[in-house]
Amino acid sequence: MANSDEFEKFISAEELEQRIAELGAQISADYAGKDLLLIAVLKGSVIFLADLMRNITVPHSVDFMATSSYGSSTETSGIVRIVKDLTMSITGRNVLIVEDIIDTGHTLHYLLRFLKAREPREIRIVTLLDKRERREVDIEVDYVGFVIPNAFVIGYGLDFDEMYRNLPYIAIPKEGFFGSEVE
Ligand code: 5GP
């Protein structure tokens, strides 16, 4: 298992906490007196969801989906598969999709089409991280935590090979990290 000198802290726990409080306050104001259903995309967004929910002061429900993209773990291929569907109906509801990171945008583009077919009242998107310069399809994002440059990041829910989701901050692996052996 690689240790912490193999990656660099990029967004600290304190910065995450502060920004998520701001996002929560903004979302609470925007949805005051309205219906709200959060849809989190597993697995990367669970830590963000848990912190965001506790900063949203208006009543809301939550449901989960899981997607997988064909291709390697560090590159998205644009072909998306739904591996876990919602348990609740979204017809007529105000849906807020909770994402960990938007990179090329292919995953969300597919997901939006899939969810819109069920005729929700409205769909908005909140993402913790936005790698805007990597976008290949146009997506309107309503709430963004941090716009980040084109680097592979781990921690705070985001994995490398299913590991490192537990880091309480966002980190960028240093050179040599991807080749490191798990002991
Ligand atoms: P997109 O379809 O927008 O290209 O990719 C979205 C998905 O790719 C994210 O939900 C995430 O699973 C994965 N991804 C994209 N960039 C990163 C990154 O820097 N780190 C990690 N761990 N996953 C990423």
Distance 85 CA to ligand 1 centre (A): 19
Q: Among residues of the chain, what percentage have pLDDT more than 70? A: 91
Q: What is the pLDDT of residues 102-138, one digit of tens each?
A: 999 999 999 999 999 999 999 999 999 999 999 999 9
Mean pLDDT confidence for 47-63? 98
Q: What is the DSSP letter of 133?
A: G
Across the range 156-167, mean pLDDT stands at 96
Residue with CA closest to ligand 1 atom 5: 103
pLDDT band at 178 (very low <50, low <70, confident <90, very high): confident
Q: Are 92 and 122 in contact (CB under 8 A)?
A: no
Structural domains of the chain in order of their starting residue, each with its CATH number: 12-150 (3.40.50.2020)
Residue 179: pLDDT band (50, 70, 90) is confident
Whether 138 is a known active-site residue: answer: no
| Residues 6+ away with beta carbon under 8 Å from 133 | 149, 150
